[in-house]
Structure 1
Amino acid sequence: MIKLIASDMDGTLVSNNHDISRNNVNAIKKAQDKGVEFIITTGRSYDDAYPQVVSAGIECNYLVMNGSELRNAQGEIIQSLYLEQTLVEQIVAELQQSDMYVEVYTTGGTFSPSDKETRKWAVATKINNFHPEISLEDAYQEAENHFLYQAINPIHSVHEIFENDYDVGKIISFSNNIEKIAELRISLPKKYPVNATGSFSINLEVTNPLADKGEAIKHYANSRGIYLNEIMTIGDSYNDLGMLNDSFGFTIAMGNAIDEVKKQAKYITDTNDADGVGKAIEQFL
């Protein structure tokens, strides 16, 4: 019997057009009506995830920034695993020395010490990743007016974050140099006590070493008295691998998932553009 459903957002619950389908919402609400708990597990910050989930009509708890924070439906922080200041400063400095774009998710919003041009190219990379029909160059031209760009607060130094007493949940980078991104995912955890993964081949996500979606779900389930074989997890990318291991009862890969996710999951559902989450819930409940 399934008692908890944990779903990723981008590439999973959210379509490539950045919406959550009515069929997905209806399936989630049916599950909740049966007494099954639903929780969001995403690499996004709470401020980024919450508005879209609520506007779709879903009320639930959140594991955000790959498990760096657990928040309830009202947005209150229940548990946190942040990065220490010295560690943030060292990693940001290394990324900038490697000419990488840097974005920092904090309790006070999203900040970037990268210059304006670098920020625009990073947003263009995101747009091109979600919409391949839009060239990188065209995406760059519209980047400054895009909501992704406008959500970033420019800073001169990460010191400004700590001067305002904000905590850092995640350091992120975007680049079309996927070889460099892949290399950093391997090298950074060897040099620093961090977890390094990504939502897509173009991005790097650095968190507290204990901030892993799988471990976060296990801790959450334990606090609820839910056994691992009573949990359904749904995801599509690298940062979902931790919650798609054999210890969970029902692990679902999206039809659009990367090969590593499909190989690890026990089942495969439809794509994020074809209500894959809703279909998986309907099938197993």
Structure 2
Amino acid sequence: MIKVIASDMDGTLLGDDHKPAPETLAAVNRACDAGIRFMIATGRNFPGAMAELKDSGLVCDYIVGSGAEVRNPQQQVVAVNPISMELCREIYKEVKNYPLSVTFCTDGDDYKIGTPEEIEESLMLQMHLFFSNLPREELVRTETYQRIIKSTKTVADMDELEAAKVPVYKLFLYSEDKEMLDELKMRLEKNKDIAVASSFPTNLEITDVKAQKGPVLKEYIESLGYTMDEVMVLGDSLNDLSMIEMNFGATVAMANADSEVKSAAKYITKSNTEFGVAYAIDELLKHQRTENE
């Protein structure tokens, strides 16, 4: 019997407006009323996750930063898996050989190396991940852009980043040049101390090898007394693959998921714009009611 549901956010729990639909929240509440524990498992950091969930009324556990931080329903940090500064320097040395802007994601603000002008331009490019059809003058007025620009700090170099004494959870890279990203990914994957995944075809996300959604979720649910066969996971992108390819009780890919994620999943639900999480939850609840009769 499924006792825990863990869901990705972007492309999964959230619609294309990056908000959880009322239909989805209602289904999550039905699951919680049935005694199921709900968890978020996202590449966002905690402030980034809460920016979209703050008005949802959800009370849940949080696996954020792709597994770099875990919080309980009281929003207390219970586990962290940051990237050491030594490893950050090693990764950055490799990455800076490419024409890429690097975002160092932390438990709060993000950090970028470069001039304010360079960073503003890189953020504009990055915004196309969320609002691909908006012209520049409208992009800068969006709530998402305003939040990102306010939470992004400029540093001159790695020494200044180290002096800030912040835990680096993830390095985020963006480029429209997918061939270049593929080449860089192959080079980075030679380093067995890191994990390289992506939320979109045009980005890479680099974490400590211990900070992956699947293994972190397994360790956390077992610490709470659950077993893997009591867990359902939902996701759509390659940074969800570490959950989907593990032997949890039910592994569910969205209809809009990456083909590799779909191939690894035990089940396929509807797309995020068709309330696929709600559909999967209701099918689960129906199945478990039938089993109990």
Aligned positions of 1:11-160 closer than 5 A: 11-134=11-134, 138-139=135-136, 142-143=139-140, 146-147=145-146, 148-160=148-160
Aligned positions of 1:205-244 closer than 5 A: 205-244=205-244
Tell me how far apart the structure 1 counterparts of residues 258 and 119 of structure 2 sit (CA, whole Å). Answer: 27
Tell me how far apart the structure 1 counterparts of residues 141 and 183 of structure 2 sit (CA, whole Å). Answer: 29
Give per-residue Cα distances to partners, 1:120-176, cap 9 Å, x unaligned: 343333332333333xxx338744872233321122123333323211111111111
Tell me how far apart the structure 1 counterparts of residues 113 and 73 of structure 2 sit (CA, whole Å). Answer: 31
Aligned positions of 1:155-174 closer than 5 A: 155-174=155-174
Tell me how far apart the structure 2 counterparts of residues 94 and 26 of structure 1 sit (CA, whole Å). Answer: 46
Larger mean Cα displacement after TM superposition, 78-87 or 106-115: 106-115
Partner of 1:8: 8
Q: Which runs of 5+ in 1 are unaligned?
A: none
Give per-residue Cα distances to partners, 1:175-223, cap 9 Å, x unaligned: 1111222222221121462111111111111111111111011101111
Q: Work out whether residues 251 and 266 of structure 2, in 8 Å CA contact, stay in contact via their aligned partners in 1.
A: yes
Give the partner amino acid of 1:198: S
Q: Work out whether residues 12 and 236 of structure 1, in 8 Å CA contact, stay in contact via their aligned partners in 2.
A: yes
State, as a whole percentage, how many aligned pairs show the same letter. 33
Partner of 1:255: 255
Q: Work out whether residues 102 and 114 of structure 1, in 8 Å CA contact, stay in contact via their aligned partners in 2.
A: no
Larger mean Cα displacement after TM superposition, 275-284 or 85-94: 85-94
Q: CA deviation at 1:231?
A: 0.7
Tell me how far apart the structure 2 counterparts of residues 266 and 50 of structure 1 sit (CA, whole Å). Answer: 29
Q: Work out whether residues 120 and 140 of structure 1, in 8 Å CA contact, stay in contact via their aligned partners in 2.
A: no
Tell me how far apart the structure 2 counterparts of residues 253 and 217 of structure 1 sit (CA, whole Å). Answer: 17
Q: Work out whether residues 101 and 173 of structure 1, in 8 Å CA contact, stay in contact via their aligned partners in 2.
A: yes
Partner of 1:204: 204
Tell me how far apart the structure 1 counterparts of residues 25 and 223 of structure 2 sit (CA, whole Å). Answer: 26
Give per-residue Cα distances to partners, 1:75-133, cap 9 Å, x unaligned: 32101111111111222233233121110112342111133344334333333233333
Structure 1 residues 252 and 118: CA distance shift in structure 2, 3 A: farther
Q: Work out whether residues 122 and 175 of structure 1, in 8 Å CA contact, stay in contact via their aligned partners in 2.
A: no
Partner of 2:267: 267
Q: CA deviation at 1:240?
A: 0.5
Tell me how far apart the structure 2 counterparts of residues 142 and 108 of structure 1 sit (CA, whole Å). Answer: 23
Count of residues in correspondence between the two structures: 282
Larger mean Cα displacement after TM superposition, 74-83 or 232-241: 74-83
Tell me how far apart the structure 1 counterparts of residues 283 and 155 of structure 2 sit (CA, whole Å). Answer: 47
TM-score normalised over the length of structure 1:
0.92
Give the partner amino acid of 2:125: T
- Equivalent residue of 1:66, what SS? helix
- Aligned-pair RMSD on alpha carbons? 1.9
